Amino acid sequence: MSGLLVRIKLFGGLKPPINIEPDENGIYHMELKEGFTVSNLIDMLSLTGKPLIVVVNNIICNDYNQSIKSGDTISFFPPVAGG
């Protein structure tokens, strides 16, 4: 398969539902199909319907229809509150 090589970071107790192991830094390396979007990745990771903050290459992503490019790092955070 010749696809998009991406890095996925999950924070705040988020775990992937698929059987992949992170590297020693906690980063999941995945190969995705061309044309994959942030929304597709959220669905694939079973994060649909959960409140999330999504960051693509250190920039907060507000458009989940954004296409993912090879080399991207996509981070998922649950919203946090404190006091």
Q: Is residue 71 part of a domain?
A: yes
Q: Does residue 50 belong to any structural domain of this protein? A: yes
pLDDT in tens, 8-56: 999 998 988 778 889 999 999 999 999 999 999 999 999 998 899 999 9
Domain count, the chain: 1
**CATH at 63:** 3.10.20.30
Given a contact cutoff of 8 angstroms between Cβ atoms, the answer to whether 32 and 59 are in contact is no
Name the residue range of residue 41's domain: 4-77
Gap between the Cα atoms of 39 and 44, Å rounded: 9
Is residue 83 included in any domain, yes or no? no
Q: Is residue 22 part of a domain?
A: yes
Per-residue pLDDT for 83 more than 70? no
Answer whether 61's CB lies under 8 Å from 55's CB: yes
Q: Is the pLDDT of residue 59 over 80?
A: yes
